[in-house]
């Protein structure tokens, strides 16, 4: 089946994230797929590595929804602007559940070849997510705590 590149990316997000068919990553990602994320300590390679990321989010956030806001396609590249949302009901990066709603924006650039996503470069609001689930102390909280101590 020869699908347009935008359709490949749309189906990938729909099946893997929204329908929670994590094994579908094998169908849409090339075996050598590289996920480059400046927030990660290393480039993740292959569908299995991608599935671990999806699993981690699914364990940490219930009502998880991945919504593509916009897409631009040029030759073999598809750029997707997206929002992921859910409720923090499980442990995430060592942070206990807060039951807070989260909504995080990101952009991913996918390279497509032979009907597969070969590589993905993603940037997303990691700091915003950590703030929402209590993983980052904001300047306002520090100022309020200082005033409470009489500083």
Q: What is the mean pLDDT of the chain?
A: 91
Q: How confident is the model at residue 103 (pLDDT cuts 50, 70, 90)?
A: very high
Q: Any idea which of 15-24, 38-47, 74-83, 128-137 has the lowest mean pLDDT?
A: 38-47
CA distance 49 to 128: 24
- pLDDT, tens digit (0-9, with 9 covering 90-100), for 19-29: 999 999 999 99
CA distance 71 to 109: 10
pTM of the model: 0.85
Q: List, in order of start, the domains of the chain with CATH numbers.
A: 5-148 (3.10.450.50)
């Amino acid at each position: 089946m020869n699908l347009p590149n935008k359709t490949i990316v749309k189906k990938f997000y729909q099946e893997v994230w929204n329908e929670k068919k994590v094994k579908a990553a094998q169908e849409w990602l090339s075996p050598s797929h590289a996920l480059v994320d400046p927030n990660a300590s290393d480039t993740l390679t292959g569908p299995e590595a991608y599935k671990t990321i999806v699993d981690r989010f699914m364990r940490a956030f219930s009502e998880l929804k991945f919504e593509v806001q916009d897409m631009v396609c040029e030759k073999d590249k598809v750029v997707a602007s997206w929002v992921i949302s859910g409720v923090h009901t499980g442990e995430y990066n060592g942070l206990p559940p807060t039951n807070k709603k989260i909504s995080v924006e990101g952009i991913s650039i996918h390279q497509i070849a032979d009907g597969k996503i070969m590589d993905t470069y993603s940037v997303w609001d990691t700091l915003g997510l950590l703030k929402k689930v209590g993983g980052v102390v904001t300047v306002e909280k520090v100022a309020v705590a200082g005033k409470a101590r009489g500083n």
